[in-house]
A and B are shown apart, each in its own frame.
Chain A
Amino acid sequence: MSERETLLSVSNVSLSFGGVKAISDVSFNIAKGEIRAIIGPNGAGKTSMLNVINGFYHPQQGQISFNGVMRKRMKPYEAASQGIARTFQNVALFKGMSTLDNILAGRALKMHKSFFWQMFRYGPALDEEIEHRKFCEEIIDFLEIEHIRKAPVGSLPYGLQKRVELGRALAMEPTLLLLDEPMAGMNLEEKQDMSRFIIDVNQHYGTTVALIEHDIGVVMDLSDRIVVLEYGHKIADGTPDEVKSDQKVIDAYLGVAH
């Protein structure tokens, strides 16, 4: 795995909020085409890490390089144009819009035709809209959510909302897909479906995936490599087998008195 080209590397990153350290001096990398998991107990700094990766937070120290380019300070919305898509722990969907519109919103950066044409839904803008609609329909087919295409997502069950959110991220054709607890609150069957989708995305589209997940069983099955965080520190990094047998990880998870 380590021979693979590096897509994203995090070097010595530290992040704190008003003196409280969320991440301390963490380094790891994500290789092209792998499924990379970030795990750790609650409050370990996993979501903060994702927020650093997609530019919501700026680390006080350390470097991030993506696609071989050292990252400068950037605006939160710029991660998307670099090819980083994400989902959120508590599902951040456009609740008043339909499934289809949510996924189309994921195409925001891919639409270029001028505002003028769009107003009249005419000419090149119409062709473009149709192309994007087709693309989104492929995603809808892929995620098997045809039956909720026109439904306002706010009224959907949680498991389906998570799927729509994944669909919106996929619509961005990301090179790096960040998933924040994609299976939280799902039942066994929904988890199996979601795992299947993640593997399919990874294998068929070659998308690199980085995910946070609490269900250790799922993580072990799904990921190529795992980073383990605890209290903002990295305590382990390696293949599922390596991580499983790491004493520090066992201590952190089996609850040796902290």
Chain B
Amino acid sequence: MTTAIDVSGLVKTFGRTRALDGLELSVAQGEVHGFLGPNGAGKSTTIRVLLGLIRADAGRVSLLGGDPWRDSVALHRRLAYVPGDVTLWRGLTGGEVIDLLGRLRGNGADRARRAELLERFELDPTKKGQTYSKGNRQKVALVAAFCSDVELLILDEPTSGLDPLMEEVFRACVEEERDRGRTVLLSSHILSEVEALCDRVSIIRAGRTVETGTLAQLRHLTRTSVVAELAAPPTGLDALPGLHDVELHGTTLRCQVDTDHLDPLLRTLTTAGVRSLTSRPPTLEELFLRHYEPESPEVVS
């Protein structure tokens, strides 16, 4: 597996603020990689380093095998970028912007693909920049990116301002890109989007990578929610390790359990007799909240 993006020990300071503090990021070629973090975590700063717009203070950055600062122009011809907040030029139409960005890269847009994307995103290319709504400005940048023939797509919170129908279109487009073997770095704080699209995820906080891996690997570190209807009140719950948020009302048990301690819990429940059992893996939502909740000692109840 070759890596499209390889970042290690990345540091960037602005005055006294340390925006990136030893960030690690590794994106394999051909994967859709989720780049998650709350506002101000350093997602956009990392992307700006990857695009060679700002220079790293320390650390190693490799993009498509090159140095994003030194080889920026050659690398930019092989990637497309959608900023989180798209501003367009007054007086230039959306269609003109799409064509301009493709031509600047030197590999113009595929006309058929362009027309198809305009239709799917329901975008009118004849309107002037200042008359587009936020969602429509975003669509201009998305169409420009998706109709370009590049190896890597860097998308910085690309769906902000899109309505749910358009988010669906966006997801379908990303899946098509993956099927065509392209690499996608998708920065987001919309968890369902990342959950639906991404092969692997990196979670960052305060300029550092706190978790990275496939969703399955990350879930391994977390808890499973269990709701059980029992024949009799269970005994010996207090002695079980890794059990959290236990609520017991008569014979109904709700609790969370660390995934590697699921087995002892199930044994205890079958001893009491199970009438019904629901268990589900944690959503990315829960996973995300755990990383960002203030660090306080957990009390096992």
The answer on A and B forming one complex is no
Q: Which residues of B contact A (CB under 8 A)?
A: none
